[in-house]
Amino acid sequence: MEIVIKELSVDHYDQLLVGWKSLPGSAIGIGDDYDSIKKYLNRNRGLSYGAFYNSKLIGAILADHDGRRGKLNHLYVLEEYRKNKIATRLVEKSITALKSQGIKRIWILIHNTNIDAIKFWESIGFKEVEILKIWGKNI
């Protein structure tokens, strides 16, 4: 099975929605609409990637940074394609791109009910930062 990793564009938005809907919990939220994702991808060129099999988007990762720290978002691989190191390849691709822009630390957010995601991130060396709490406000 030949999986091609390439940069995401807003043209992949409908396929991204399919992937995000496959995730447990509330994977789609405020700011995940077409216009917001278009703005996000344009602002963070060269950081977000998709995994394609026969031109079908089977996995993706979004990435950005604030100039100091990077952030990885919305990683998914469709269930029937898991266990092929696709997620690891996507993470590595975004981390490499972030490093090339001088970023030395990255963080992720994981829905606390997504046990598979927690296990995956732990398996590739990520650790929970217990001294932080995430706070938010819709504006």
Amino acid at 43: R
Domains and CATH numbers, the chain: 4-123 (3.40.630.30)
Q: State the pLDDT at residue 137.
A: 83
Each residue's pLDDT tens digit in the chain (139 positions)?
Answer: 799 999 999 999 999 999 988 877 667 888 899 999 999 999 999 999 999 999 999 999 999 999 999 999 999 999 999 999 999 999 999 999 999 999 999 999 888 888 888 999 999 999 998 888 888 888 8
Say which residue the tokens 């406000």 belong to. 137
Beta-carbon-side half-sphere exposure of residue 103 (alpha carbons within 13 Å): 22
pTM, two decimals, is 0.90
Q: State the pLDDT at residue 26.
A: 61
C-alpha closest to that of 138 among 20, 39, 26, 47: 26
